[in-house]
Amino acid sequence: MKRWFSVFIISIFAIAAVSLVVVQLIQTRRTFSISDNMFSVSVGNAMEEVIKQLDSDKPYNSANFSYQDLDSLIVEELIINGIDMHPVIGVYDGSQGSFLYSSNPRHEDDLEYSPYRYSFRPQGVVSSSQYFIILSFPDAELFLQRNPNLYLYMSIFLLLIIAVMFILSLRTIANQRKLDQMKNEFINNMTHEIKTPISTISLACEMLSDETISQDNASRANFINIVADENQRMRLLVETILQSAKMGNKNFSMNPKEVDFNALTDKVLTSFKLTLANRGGSVERHLDATPSIVIADELHMTNLIYNLVDNGIKYSTGAPHIVVSTAIEGKHFVIRVQDHGIGIAKADQKHIFEKFYRVSTGNVHNVKGFGIGLNYVAQVVRLHHGHIALESEPGQGSTFIVSLPLKA
Ligand code: ADP
């Protein structure tokens, strides 16, 4: 995905998310104020009815009046008006400045400051005292769910979940695109890599079928060398691609047995004789490990050494000089493949074992490849419970160090 497009999408999402929270907040506040008003109106209606009844049916000063009756009357009227709550109820004598009754003395302070205050005249007579019935609703907050922060936090939390999902989707899309691009590059490279040796081989065969050339021993040998060289290149290519694909399969199994590593390394190095001769290069062997028997899969180990040496040659400018050594270090068999080629920058070293990764700086890639060789090597090492390390300086060369446990 293009960078500017991602930034554009993320900005739109961020603006939409913030706007959503603001709209939600405004809406919530509006709802609260409407429900607050409705609550006050309902309490007012209920109390109007209570006072009407107090003034007529159950005179406040009559002998059969009790505050319990007052409580039940108020609760009853509140329920009729849609408020299913039990308020704190107080009867206040305004002229004395004290409560004559309060249903919960602990809440007298609340009563004093409550806005739900209704004056009444006992028996409808204007008395010298001013009486008030005061109600307080300590549970009103819960009843009205008046806590706007709760809604805000919930909205933010949900938005965060959506944002995380959004980012994950963006990343998946970006990864998919990268993978697609890698796949295309891989197919392009592979076509090129396979086409070149095929045309070289067919050209060499054509030359060999020409009688004037086939009778000249030196030319004949030269063309046979070219065919053998190109053939070896294709073999490694096909082998690496096949084995690498097989490793992704969960039914993949290895075939470990006793392998003489010094002999194996020697065999692989010998097969590079022609390639090295063609480029005027050389290989130095220090196969000093004794004993050199390791329990390993012979085919994968052959490919491993092959890949490392092949890279050493590929990424050397001029005549390649490769040094291969084996040694026993502690409980490990260690093989080092050193070249004096272009080297690998620190930033690339971290990624070098990733599938399809190729160094893209400089003009490294007049050398063709797929970026799967080192990933395959790393997987082989991992399957053998070993370890691979890289020491490299750009312009100086690289050393790949593979250590394998002597006892698998
Ligand atoms: P390929 O060689 O097919 O591109 P590899 O997985 O073998 O793929 O290597 C990945 C990348 O690592 C190469 O493209 C190259 O840039 C870099 N590389 C590997 N070996 C060496 C080396 N010996 N010297 C310098 N660069 C190397």
Measure 263 CA to ligand 1 centroid, in angstroms: 25
What pLDDT does residue 154 have?
82
- 275 in a structural domain: yes
Q: Is the CB of 348 under 6 A from ligand 1?
A: no
Instruction: Kindly tell me if the per-residue pLDDT of 364 is higher than 60.
Output: no
- Let me know: does 182 contact 212? Beta carbons within 8 Å: no
Q: What are 110-157's pLDDT values in tens digits?
A: 888 888 988 877 655 555 568 889 998 877 665 555 556 677 788 788
Percentage of residues of the chain with pLDDT beyond 90: 34
HSE (side-chain half, CA atoms, 13 Å) at 115 = 8
Instruction: Kindly tell me if the per-residue pLDDT of 217 is higher than 70.
Output: yes
Stretch 23-38: mean pLDDT, rounded?
81
Structure tokens at 341: 């080629």
Distance of CA 397 to the CA centre of its chain: 35
d(CA 346, CA 6) in angstroms, rounded, equals: 29
Structure tokens at 235: 């073999």
Measure 357 CA to ligand 1 centroid, in angstroms: 8
- Let me know: does 236 contact 306? Beta carbons within 8 Å: yes
- pTM for the model stands at 0.60
Stretch 254-259: mean pLDDT, rounded?
91
What pLDDT does residue 240 have?
82
- What lies within 8 Å, CB to CB, of 209 at 6+ separation is none
Count of domains for the chain: 2
Q: Give Dmax (Cα) for the chain.
A: 142
Last residue in a domain, options 146, 174, 198: 146
Last residue in a domain, options 125, 146, 167: 146
Higher pLDDT, 65 or 254: 254
- 209 in a structural domain: no
- 158 in a structural domain: no
Domain encompassing residue 70? 3-146
Q: Is the CB of 237 under 6 A from ligand 1?
A: no
- Let me know: does 310 contact 273? Beta carbons within 8 Å: no
Band of pLDDT at residue 363, cut at 50, 70 and 90 = very low
Instruction: Kindly tell me if the per-residue pLDDT of 188 is higher than 70.
Output: yes
On whether both 382 and 262 belong to a single domain, the answer is: yes
What pLDDT does residue 179 have?
84
Q: What are 84-117's pLDDT values in tens digits?
A: 888 999 988 888 888 888 888 888 888 888 889 8
- 89 in a structural domain: yes
Nearest CA to ligand 1 atom 25: 343
On whether both 263 and 141 belong to a single domain, the answer is: no
Please compute Rg for the chain using Cα positions.
44
Among candidates 230, 357, 376, 407, which has minimal Cα distance to 304?
Answer: 376
